[in-house]
Structure 1
Amino acid sequence: MGRLDAHDQAALVKTGELTPADLVDAAILRIEHLDAALNVMTFKDYDRARARARATDMRGAMAGVPWLLKDGLDYPGMPNRSGSRSKRDAAPGTIEFPFTRAFDDAGLIPLGKTNAPEFGLLPTTEPLLYGAARNPWSLDRSPGGSSGGAAAAVASGMVPVAHAADGGGSIRIPASCCGLVGLKPGRGANVRARDPHVLEDLLACDVLLSRSVRDVSWAYATAAGGIDMPVAPVARRLRVAVIADTLDGAAPSPQVAAVLRQAADLCASLGHDVVAAPLPADGPGVAACFRTLWRYLARDAVAHVVSRMGEAAAEAALEPWTRDLARHGETLGTADLEGALGQICAASDAFARFFTQYDIVLSPVLRHPALAIGDLAPDRSFEHIMERMFDYVSYTPLQNLTGLPALSLPLYLGADGVPIGSMFTAARGQEALLLELAFELEAALPWKHRWPAHSIGTEVPR
């Protein structure tokens, strides 16, 4: 049953073929078999999951379907360590936000939490607290980040859906690396998942990763407060602008460029009007803006740890990358923040005008295929990570800064057999259009049969 998406697993419960306890026990079996290689799980809550499965009232749309939460998300009864040694001894949580309550009400049963980098500050998942999560397509490659553990869990078939959060690409990046459907809702499109925070409210959003468009469409509708969800392919033909270069004007790597051409050709073959277009905004300025805000986030995270632990203990507990990025942020002044906010406004206005001419932007998710484990390890030199990270993550921050919705789809594999996602972006409020296009592309080029080497599709017989 691990080969089934959330909808099909829920159907087994609704027809009485299986019970919620059956689904939960099977998922635990899969996790225990696969996690030794993938290092996904950071907290296992199996006893409570089994108790919840026995007690479920069967009324939710996804009653009995197992899922996993990302480390960094607050949830009652589970510790939130945020991938950090500074929170190694975090107590079980007591906070329930509307986001997780919506999925509880829908009948999903959480089994635990997944691996994530310290405070979500890297696009790979190699925290010193837990060790590296591994890509089920190739164990020497990263599943991406910061929702890398979630992506590896879903891609391998441990669970059909898992929570992911995105402040600079952290839904779309692991979706690209692991061959999943990854929707980043637009700003304010989902109910609250965390405490109010100016920069996180500006940049971050939450949804569930899955292998199927219908699961992600349902999850988006649920997290948006129970709106009607798209269920069918787009009816009209769309104007698709292909933007190939990064924010800094660099071309994508050859494997990524090849996938972009294939995705553009697929859209054209379906009758969409596909044309190349330049980035309408100041790309280097937008990239600099993101680097500025990322330093602010690190500085804020470190300040909280120092206030709780003291300077010496915080220095010992925090990862070198986090400490160094925060120190780099200490040089920022009000003029830097004012300039960053100005870039956000200018880019948002530019794209509002751009979307009067086009319906969709097609671009890469990442400049390079999934990186090797260790390439962005948090104890590498600050200079190496700064250069490599912002070169790697040079497409996805745009949508976080401008509040646009975007979607990574697993249309193609790279030449080495590891997925490379294709990113589609739409105007504010056009999540439904993205999902309708995704339904069409999924039907035209199905990926349901594709399973990584380390997965339920190849290793575990249930």
Structure 2
Amino acid sequence: MPLLDRDQAFAIGRLDAHDQAALVARGEVSARELTGAAITRIEQLDGMLNILTVRDHEAALARAETATGPMAGVPWLLKESLDYPGLPNRSGSRSFRDAAPGEVIFPFTSAFDATGLVAVGKTNAPEFGLLPTTEPLLYGATRNPWALDRSPGGSSGGAAAAVASGMVPLAHAADGGGSIRIPASCCGLVGLKPGRGANLRARAPHVIEDWLVADTLLSRSVRDVAWATAIAAGTSAPACVPPGRKLRIAVILENLDGAHPETEVAQAITRTADLCASLGHHVEAVPLPVDGAAVAAAFRTVWAYLSRDAVGSTVNRLGQQAAEAMLEPWTLSLADWGAGVEAGDVDALFRDAAHATAQLDAFFTQFDLILSPVLRRPALKIGDLAPTRPFDHMMQLMFDYVSYTQLHNLTGNPAISLPLYLGSDGVPIGSMFAASRGEETLLLQLGFELEQAVPWADRWPAQSIAGTLAFSEEMH
């Protein structure tokens, strides 16, 4: 059976997952043709953006032939770190360059497979997810479709670039310190980090990862993300409607270190606050309600433990010499730095995280939502956080850059990045809303209301299936 031609594949790529599924439901295309259209788009765009780390095209087409369910044939991509049968999990690391195809599947992935989604490959991510950019030495840098010299963020940067460019309408992302919201902000997507315990198991049990990490799918539309959030939680999707009441929204520009964002970020958040006020919500600027310095220190302790765990397991698997040769300088240096962490630091970590959780719980009795930046700066240039840069530079820039998102991982609160505005250079700057535990639906309802007020469905980057380069000669 022949697949759709390039122009047809590009036209389908402009649709979100729900509209792509509707084409199959109406009999206008087959599930195989829908999956094949994504493969065509990937082949056209990936050479420019460097997103795919694993391609599974023939197996994907075969799966599409028998796909059933409400999303039959709708293509999605898996993050490099996600286990999936038949696909290797290299975790963005040269130490796993020769990883065998996977044999394990977890409930999170099974739930999406059961809807008829068809996995077509895996997306680029930094080594062990330890950076908020995506330029591992194993695969090289993924480029932001909005500006090729800019990072798409991380650690789910490949996923975000794939959706932003129109390769697929959905891609898996995981967030242990901002890795859903950061790439969503950099690439102009909707990125919801569910609260702790709000999604099915996506990986093997690990005490720190179970505490910090949440999984979801990135998309360009709120309704896609609402659907994915429900599937990932094993619940029914909420109706995409505005909130049933006017909300109390606290605007917090101060980061964990007490600093304010760079000018263009502050302007985007101010515009978002004004938009919310124009819709009748009560908007009020307030100071950070937690001990920011303590939260920042707690997160650095957690990150040190994750790097030590990664290095230690690699040494056990390959030996000291091979591990040092294969692991990236950032991973090794962060683990060395983490060797100074002592039992008292762990006591402080859990004490300060619990204190911040209690402070946020009390704060959310006064306000429904917090509006803040996702990142202190606009999307970084590729190379700014390359894993080969000097360690002191990396520590200072990384933890300054991600000084808003970490809080919600430590406290377990849900938070969402919405693509409301662009910077003066045309690269998106996300607005982040956070809510109390269990209020994912409220975040999605506000997201839907803001999507209707400032639509972004027709806003595409130049390096995409609908951008100014879509029909240029270099893409033929």
Normalising by structure 2, report the TM-score.
0.96
RMSD between superposed Cα atoms in Å: 0.9
Equivalent pair of 1:137/1:452 in contact (CA under 8 Å)? yes
Taking the TM superposition and a 5 Å limit, the aligned residue runs for 1:364-375 are 364-375=373-384
User: In the aligned structure 2, how far is the partner of 1:134 from the partner of 1:15?
Assistant: 36
**1:224 matches 2:256:** no
Task: Report what 1:34 is aligned to.
Answer: 45
Task: Report what 1:22 is aligned to.
Answer: 33
**1:97 matches 2:106:** yes
Secondary structure of residue in 2 paired with 1:183 = strand
Q: 1:286: how far off?
A: 0.3
Taking the TM superposition and a 5 Å limit, the aligned residue runs for 1:352-371 are 352-371=361-380
Taking the TM superposition and a 5 Å limit, the aligned residue runs for 1:197-236 are 197-236=206-245
Taking the TM superposition and a 5 Å limit, the aligned residue runs for 1:76-225 are 76-225=85-234
Render the CA deviation track for 1:96-136: whole Å, top value 9, x for unaligned: 10000000001000000000000000000000000000000
Render the CA deviation track for 1:270-290: whole Å, top value 9, x for unaligned: 000000011111001101110
User: In the aligned structure 1, how far is the partner of 2:392 from the partner of 2:236?
Assistant: 45
Select 2:393's aligned residue among 370, 384, 393.
384
Taking the TM superposition and a 5 Å limit, the aligned residue runs for 1:254-273 are 254-273=263-282
Q: 1:448: how far off?
A: 0.4
Deviates more, 1:230-239 or 1:197-206: 230-239
Q: 1:72: how far off?
A: 0.4
User: In the aligned structure 2, how far is the partner of 1:295 from the partner of 1:61?
Assistant: 42
Q: 1:61: how far off?
A: 1.6
Letter in 1 for 2:464: S
Equivalent pair of 2:330/2:388 in contact (CA under 8 Å)? yes
User: In the aligned structure 2, how far is the partner of 1:228 from the partner of 1:413?
Assistant: 29
Number of aligned positions between the proteins: 460
Equivalent pair of 1:230/1:435 in contact (CA under 8 Å)? no
Equivalent pair of 2:462/2:470 in contact (CA under 8 Å)? no
Task: Report what 2:406 is aligned to.
Answer: 397
Percent identity of equivalent pairs: 67
Equivalent pair of 2:226/2:237 in contact (CA under 8 Å)? no
Select 2:17's aligned residue among 1, 6, 28.
6
Task: Report what 1:455 is aligned to.
Answer: 464
Taking the TM superposition and a 5 Å limit, the aligned residue runs for 1:268-347 are 268-347=277-356
Task: Report what 2:432 is aligned to.
Answer: 423
Q: 1:229: how far off?
A: 2.1
**1:62 matches 2:71:** yes
Secondary structure of residue in 1 paired with 2:13 = coil
Equivalent pair of 1:40/1:153 in contact (CA under 8 Å)? yes
User: In the aligned structure 1, how far is the partner of 2:103 from the partner of 2:298?
Assistant: 35
Equivalent pair of 2:463/2:470 in contact (CA under 8 Å)? no
**1:438 matches 2:447:** yes
Render the CA deviation track for 1:259-317: whole Å, top value 9, x for unaligned: 01000000000000000011111001101110110000000011110000000000000
Secondary structure of residue in 2 paired with 1:456 = coil
Render the CA deviation track for 1:179-225: whole Å, top value 9, x for unaligned: 00000000000000001101000100100000000000000000001
User: In the aligned structure 1, how far is the partner of 2:391 from the partner of 2:437?
Assistant: 35
Equivalent pair of 2:218/2:225 in contact (CA under 8 Å)? yes
Secondary structure of residue in 2 paired with 1:257 = helix
Render the CA deviation track for 1:44-101: whole Å, top value 9, x for unaligned: 0001100011122x3x121110000000000010000000000000000000100000
Letter in 1 for 2:435: A
Task: Report what 1:252 is aligned to.
Answer: 261
Equivalent pair of 1:30/1:460 in contact (CA under 8 Å)? no
Q: Which structure 1 residue ranges, 5 or more long, are not aligned? A: none
